[in-house]
Structure 1
Amino acid sequence: MKPMLSQRALHEAAGQGLRILAADERCRTAFTTPGSVLQDVLSPAARRYVLAAGRDEFLDHLDVLRGKAYRIAVEFVGEENSDPAEIERVVDEYLTVLAHEPVPEQLGFDLSNLGLSSSRDLATRNTARITGAAAGRGCDVVLSMERAPAVDDVLGTYRDLADEHPNLGITLQAYLHRTPADIDTIPVDGRKIRLVKGAFTAPADIALGRGPALDERYLTLAAQLLDRGARLSLATQDATVLGTARTSGLLDRVEEIEMLHGVRPALLRTYREAGYQCRIYATYGENWWLHLLHRLAEHPPMVLTALADIAERHQGDGHTVGAGY
């Protein structure tokens, strides 16, 4: 019989289990099948993390969050995409959002949703189209980071476009062993750098697992990026990491704290009320399987909240936009 796990170890193991489910092709196929029972049953839980299925409703909801003095980042949620028509639809979504008033302060997206699986050149061209339009609206674009095999392509696209697009930033994953060396190969000074722990499963020879060693690396990388002039976003929902950053004074040097919408709103509110700049990373769209499972993995006790959200739909209740913020 296995020994009882500590609460932190149990949460880390549960998070790993959720990430495995997120990547399971059988589950993802079941989710995308027309009339999917999986999609129907889990949709009330997803609405806590995905603000809306459609753009107009999503943009209305953003006004609620802005009214609470949060910065906003916007993503049209999706997964790996190779259909040319669908890729173009994703690009059009971002261009349409950029035409809206008030304009989002920041956009984020995966290159795999812009054609990376077809070719890096296609993804790069589409990124340049969005980033150029965003510059004209005073908006930053921060590339999301993906699974370990795609890191070279994401970093390469960032390097290719960075000189021409000063509003382009990048997400770095602290859990990858390669990240400290990658920092030496990309533009950092004056750039928006979004530092995350890393949401995907990866073997030990590629990445650290969740735990104190990763926490330490995350804070070390944050300090190094700040020393090199990065406009740093601490993108984490980890209360322990944020507490250490605050005690050490590191938190006073970052541009902002960022959390994914719906994960730990009360924690983010605490920092906003303490005077720190705080950003909510908000998503919309229908292709949310990966997003939902990864959000639950960020804070596994939220699985209970997800079950409660499902129950509330059957009781006729709904999730209130901005609740907890």
Structure 2
Amino acid sequence: MNTALPEHTPVSQRALHEAAGRGLRLLAADPRCRSAFTAPGSLLQDLLSPAAHRYVLAADRDAFLDHLGVLRAKSYRIAVEFVGEEAADPAEVERVVGEYLAVLAHEPVPEQLGFDLSNVGLALSRELCAANTARITSAAAARGSEVVLSMERAPAVDDVLGTYRELAADHANLGVTLQAYLHRTEADLDAVPVAGRRIRLVKGAFVAPPEVALGRGPALDARYLRLAAALVDRGARLSLATQDPAVLEAAARSGLLDRVEEIEMLHGVRPELLRSYRESGHACRIYATYGENWWLHLLHRLAEHPPMVLTALADIAERGQAEGRTVGAGY
């Protein structure tokens, strides 16, 4: 797919943002960038850390859990993720699982957890991944919490949905994320448990070819709203997970917004927009993250709203102020 913008062609603001978002997602997936980020003494990590503080609440668990109280006090629901990706070392996988078990031991207990299966063993084996997911989900059930599996790149979708389907029968507190941009998703609604389940509907954050997925634009917006309505009709407890004001406005006009269980947005992305919906009486959830492996998370958050790249540059320029930013600012 050619994403170039012709030099002399007038470009709408939306088209420019969509092209910028594609560029950010390509950088996020570039193995050279990811290797540079994880290298010891990484210059890339040091330079970009002030920008990451806007989206990642803390590097360590204790500070993160303390920060959640500020958001709860403003009547937001919370989902928790320990950021990371594609853990291929058994010790690292066990460390990730241990993080989630430790979070669940905290008071007050987070009401929802989310994670990538690739971070809890999928890179090693499907069986290990399923066993670790069951461990976390069982511990969450004992504490009255839910687990909503995150979605991954298109080649991993069968593994994610298969693991969800296998575990759902024994874990009523297990839900899943679905990506509207994938052409397959409408058919997937018939293949996985939906009724009574927490389903997060997102547009889709990863780069995928046109034969696999729609690009950002009106066609994807329409599909997102169509899938949302279908999920509600099937009895899903739907989280409308989007930062797109046009989509939310369309959902409000159609009455769909009054039928979903909640609006969810990623921490740091358009907080004023989420606040406006909370103040108008809608249940709102903040998807909050912590940890140090935030390269993919940062680039995908900027891709959700590319004008935030300017904010990121300002955060880098004002390093001290950015790192000392007040938790909950804008919410």
After superposition, the C-alpha distances for 1:236-274 in whole angstroms (9 at most, x for unaligned) are 000000000011110000010000000010000000000
Aligned residue number for residue 54 of structure 1 = 60
Q: Determine the C-alpha separation between the residues in 1 that align with 2:211 and 2:75.
A: 42
Q: Secondary structure at the match of 1:185?
A: coil
* 1:211 is aligned to 2:220: no
SS in 2 for 1:171: strand
Q: Is the 8 A contact 1:312 1:318 kept in 2?
A: no
Q: Which residue does 1:162 correspond to in 2?
A: 168
The one of 265, 269, 272 equivalent to 2:271 is 265
Q: Which contiguous aligned blocks of 4+ residues in structure 1 show a shift greater than 2 angstroms? A: 314-318
Q: Does 1:285 align with 2:291?
A: yes
1:45 matches 2:51: yes
Answering whether residue 255 of structure 2 is matched by residue 243 of structure 1, we say: no
Deviation of 1:313 after TM superposition, in Å, equals 1.1
1:34 aligns to 2:40 (yes or no): yes
Distance 2:13 2:89 in 1: 43
- SS of 1:263's equivalent? coil
SS of structure 2 residue aligned to 1:184: coil
Q: Which is further off, 2-11 or 65-74?
A: 2-11
Aligned partners of 1:141 and 1:79: how far apart in 2? 18
**Counterpart Cα distance in 2 of 1:105 and 1:296:** 26
2:89 corresponding residue in structure 1 = 83
CA contact 2:54–2:322 (8 Å) conserved in 1: no
Residue 187 of structure 2, aligned match among 175, 181, 184 = 181
Partners of 2:111 and 2:278 lie apart in 1 by: 18
Match of 1:124 in 2: 130
Q: CA deviation at 1:4?
A: 2.5
Q: Aligned partners of 2:148 and 2:293: how far apart in 1?
A: 20
Q: Give SS of 1:166's match.
A: coil
For 2:289, the aligned partner's letter is: T
Structure 2 spans left out of the alignment, 5+ residues: 1-6
CA–CA separation in structure 2 for the residues paired with 1:81 and 1:210: 29
CA separation in 1, counterparts of 2:8 and 2:29? 26
Give the match for residue 4 of structure 2: none
Report the AA paired with residue 45 of structure 1. A
Matched residue count: 325
The answer to whether structure 1 residue 171 and structure 2 residue 153 are counterparts is no
The AA in structure 2 aligned to 1:321 is V
Q: 1:174-221, CA deviations, whole angstroms, 9 ceiling, x for partnerless residues?
A: 000000000100000000000000000000000000000000000000
The offset of 1:318, in angstroms, is 2.7
Contact 2:177 2:200 (C-alpha < 8 Å) held by counterparts: yes
The TM-score, its normalising length taken from structure 1, stands at: 0.99
Q: 1:229 aligns with which of 217, 235, 251?
A: 235
Q: Which runs of 5+ in 1 are unaligned?
A: none
Instruction: Determine the C-alpha separation between the residues in 1 that align with 2:300 and 2:96.
Output: 21
Q: 1:295 aligned to 2:301? A: yes
- The CA deviation at 1:314 is 5.2
Tell me which residue corresponds to 1:106. 112
TM-score, normalization by structure 2: 0.97
| Offset, 1:320 | 1.4
For 2:70 and 2:302, the matched residues in 1 are separated by 23
Q: Distance in 2 between matches of 1:300 and 1:20?
A: 13
1:290, 1:176 → 2: CA distance? 20
Q: Is the 8 A contact 1:142 1:168 kept in 2?
A: yes
Counterpart of 2:298 in structure 1: which amino acid?
Answer: L
